[in-house]
């Protein structure tokens, strides 16, 4: 028996391949959008993919379950409450799947979503591992507030929080302390608030160290679980629906993105996502373009700033970067929203003025300061006492709340987000002098000024 963990650092996502060496068969759990790594793994082990288990319809990434099933003939297993639009076998409480000497058993563990399941792996008559999806993380449990407006079954956060209390205590915590915990996400995911950097744990270790598994009443649990959860990106409901349907095949879909000539000029009023480095962007870009720089979290910020009902143009510094960005967009199903993609390697008509940091330091009252960090970050302390807080995911809708009678300085926590934020404010307030504090924000971290 072998268990292979596949990690996508950008979305802090873990997928799994369970290999029976005796039967030369593989079952996948929560696969990512690109199926090729799983095909490669099966080939390397001279095995056949016979099953794909979806622990629930994911909100933060698009799964390749339907494509894998169509290509390999593998059966898709998921809970009947999902109401999946694709052909599948219900894998409800107590259902079992035999894989050589491995037995996989379903636990219905609602809480993150009404249709969540966890998969217990039994080998040689003993429970060895549990694949917990977004129910139990290392150091945390799944947030209960994502399914109030998405999916086949909607549920209120309090109801789901109560279900999570019972799922953890009556099912997962009753497994042997030695059982290995394999979650669908790690640190950096927006599916919880306190996820650890570790990629696996044990039931015993989580009983000891996970705040959500400590002794408390149901009402206490329901109170603390929703507190200080991260923001909900715009794309989450879209991905739940796409996963319930089954996404189009990955490679044909990214190859279907319309590639335009170099330095293409979109029509006025178009939504343009310019992923070039912020220094290049500021030297000259198209009017109204949003500077979501290519980086480790590009896909998260793309899906947080651009809504799934919108179409956008995608601009990159090079052909190689453009290809990389389309692949990242596809992780959340956003390749389907690209109106056209092109390389932009010449400066355009709009320049962003350079920030005079010493002048700002001396005369902060002469500026309107906009803090685009998340509410939970600001709760821990402001960097500038008079700053207006508008979190980046809300900025396009709320930018006109910002007074334009003084130069506007936009800042985040480290410099990455403020490139996007300042470009959004610049587009919304063309009469204002908009400045990006960028990485210079690190010079002001000794408290409010």
Domain assignment present for residue 348? The answer is: no
Question: Measuring CA to CA, which residue among 97, 121, 94, 122 is closest to residue 109?
Answer: 94
Kind and range of the H or E element at 109? none
25-29 and 13-20 beta bridge pairing: antiparallel
Contact 112, 123 (CB under 8 A): no
Domain assignment present for residue 80? The answer is: yes
d(CA 187, CA 193): 9
What is the model's pTM? Answer: 0.93
pLDDT confidence of residue 188: 66
Is residue 226 domain-shared with residue 287, that is, in the same domain? no
**Of 293, 318, 343, which closes a domain?**
343
The enclosing domain of 382 has a CATH number of 3.40.250.10
d(CA 55, CA 57): 7
CA angle 185, 83, 52 (to 5 degrees): 50
d(CA 357, CA 249): 48
Is residue 87 domain-shared with residue 171, that is, in the same domain? yes
Contact 282, 436 (CB under 8 A): yes
Is residue 15 domain-shared with residue 140, that is, in the same domain? yes
Chain-centroid distance, C-alpha 377: 18
Give 206-212 contacts, CB < 8 A, sequence gap 24+: 206/136, 206/138, 206/139, 206/181, 207/173, 207/177, 209/139, 210/136, 210/138, 210/139, 210/140, 210/141, 211/139, 211/140, 212/140, 212/141, 212/164, 212/168
Is residue 286 domain-shared with residue 217, that is, in the same domain? no
pLDDT confidence of residue 229: 83
Domain assignment present for residue 295? The answer is: yes
Number of domains in the chain: 3
408-411 and 434-436 beta bridge pairing: parallel
Is residue 223 domain-shared with residue 256, that is, in the same domain? no
Is residue 81 domain-shared with residue 56, that is, in the same domain? yes
Domain assignment present for residue 209? The answer is: yes
pLDDT confidence of residue 196: 66
pLDDT in tens, the chain (449 residues): 999 999 999 999 999 999 999 999 999 999 999 999 999 999 999 999 999 999 999 999 999 999 999 999 999 999 999 999 999 999 999 999 999 999 999 999 999 999 999 999 999 999 999 999 999 999 999 999 877 655 445 568 899 999 999 999 999 999 999 999 999 998 766 666 567 677 999 999 999 999 999 999 999 999 999 888 888 899 999 999 999 999 999 999 999 999 999 999 999 999 999 999 999 999 999 999 999 999 989 999 999 999 999 999 999 999 999 999 999 999 999 999 999 999 999 888 899 999 999 999 999 999 999 999 998 888 888 889 899 999 999 999 999 999 999 999 999 999 899 999 999 999 999 999 999 999 999 998 875 54
Backbone angles phi, psi at 406, to 5 degrees: -125, 165
Domain assignment present for residue 296? The answer is: yes
Is residue 157 domain-shared with residue 275, that is, in the same domain? no
* Torsion angle in degrees (nearest 10) through CA of 359, 364, 367, 373: 110
| Residue listed under structure tokens 């990214």 | 254
d(CA 107, CA 97): 12
Question: Measuring CA to CA, which residue among 260, 284, 426, 287 is closest to residue 345?
Answer: 284
| Residue listed under structure tokens 């039994």 | 122
Question: Measuring CA to CA, which residue among 10, 29, 33 is closest to residue 247?
Answer: 33
How many C-beta neighbours within 10 Å does residue 169 have? 14
Strand ranges for 124-199 from DSSP E: 126-133, 180-183
Contact 182, 176 (CB under 8 A): no
Contact 21, 2 (CB under 8 A): yes
The enclosing domain of 140 has a CATH number of 3.60.15.10
**Of 203, 237, 271, which closes a domain?**
237
403 three-state secondary structure: coil
Is residue 210 domain-shared with residue 308, that is, in the same domain? no
Chain-centroid distance, C-alpha 324: 17
Domain assignment present for residue 100? The answer is: yes
Give residue 332's domain range: 248-343
Is residue 31 domain-shared with residue 90, that is, in the same domain? yes
Chain-centroid distance, C-alpha 197: 16
Is residue 85 domain-shared with residue 8, that is, in the same domain? yes
Is residue 116 domain-shared with residue 16, that is, in the same domain? yes
**DSSP string of 268-327?**
TT--EEE-S-HHHHHHSB-TT-B---SSTTHHHHHHHHS-TT--EEEEESSHHHHHHHHH
Distance in Å from the first CA to the final CA of the chain: 59
Is residue 289 domain-shared with residue 181, that is, in the same domain? no
């Amino acid at each position: 028996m072998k268990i292979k963990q596949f990690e996508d650092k950008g979305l802090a996502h873990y997928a799994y391949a369970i290999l029976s060496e005796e039967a030369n068969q593989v079952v996948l759990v929560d696969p990512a959008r690109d199926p090729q790594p799983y095909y490669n793994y099966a080939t390397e082990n001279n095995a056949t993919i016979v099953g794909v288990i979806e622990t629930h319809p994911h909100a933060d990434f698009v799964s390749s379950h339907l494509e894998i099933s169509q290509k390999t003939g593998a059966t898709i297993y998921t809970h009947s409450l999902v109401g999946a639009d694709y052909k599948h076998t219900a894998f409800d409480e107590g259902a079992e799947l035999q894989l050589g000497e491995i037995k996989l058993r379903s636990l219905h563990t609602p809480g993150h979503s009404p249709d969540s399941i966890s998969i217990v792996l039994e080998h040689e008559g003993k429970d060895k591992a549990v694949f917990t999806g977004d129910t139990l993380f290392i150091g945390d449990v799944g947030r209960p507030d994502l399914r109030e407006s998405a999916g086949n079954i909607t549920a209120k956060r309090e109801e789901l929080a109560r279900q999570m209390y019972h799922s953890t205590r009556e099912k997962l915590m009753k497994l042997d302390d030695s059982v290995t915990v394999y979650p669908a996400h790690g640190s950096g995911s927006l599916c919880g608030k306190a996820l650890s950097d570790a990629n696996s744990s044990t039931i015993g270790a989580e009983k000891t160290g996970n705040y959500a598994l400590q002794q408390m009443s149901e009402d206490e649990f329901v109170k603390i679980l929703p507190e200080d959860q991260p923001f909900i990106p715009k794309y989450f409901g879209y991905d739940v629906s796409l996963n319930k349907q089954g996404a189009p095949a990955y490679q044909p879909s990214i190859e279907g993105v319309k590639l335009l000539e170099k330095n293409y000029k979109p029509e006025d009023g178009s939504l343009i996502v310019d992923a070039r480095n912020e220094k290049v962007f500021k030297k000259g870009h198209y009017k109204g373009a949003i500077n979501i720089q290519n980086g480790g979290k590009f896909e998260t910020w793309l899906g947080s700033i651009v809504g799934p009902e919108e179409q956008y143009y995608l601009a990159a510094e090079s052909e190689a970067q453009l290809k990389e960005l389309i692949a990242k967009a596809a992780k959340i199903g956003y390749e389907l929203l690209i109106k056209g993609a092109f390389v932009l390697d010449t400066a355009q008509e709009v320049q962003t003025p350079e920030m005079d940091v010493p002048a700002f330091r001396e005369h902060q009252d002469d500026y309107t300061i906009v803090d685009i960090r998340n509410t939970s970050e600001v709760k821990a302390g402001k960097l500038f006492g008079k700053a207006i807080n508008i979190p980046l995911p809300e900025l396009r809708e709320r930018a006109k709340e910002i007074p334009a009678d003084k130069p506007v300085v936009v800042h985040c926590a480290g410099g990455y987000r403020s490139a996007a934020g300042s470009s959004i404010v610049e587009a919304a307030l063309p009469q204002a002098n908009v400045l990006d504090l960028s990485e210079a924000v690190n010079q002001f971290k000794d408290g409010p000024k």
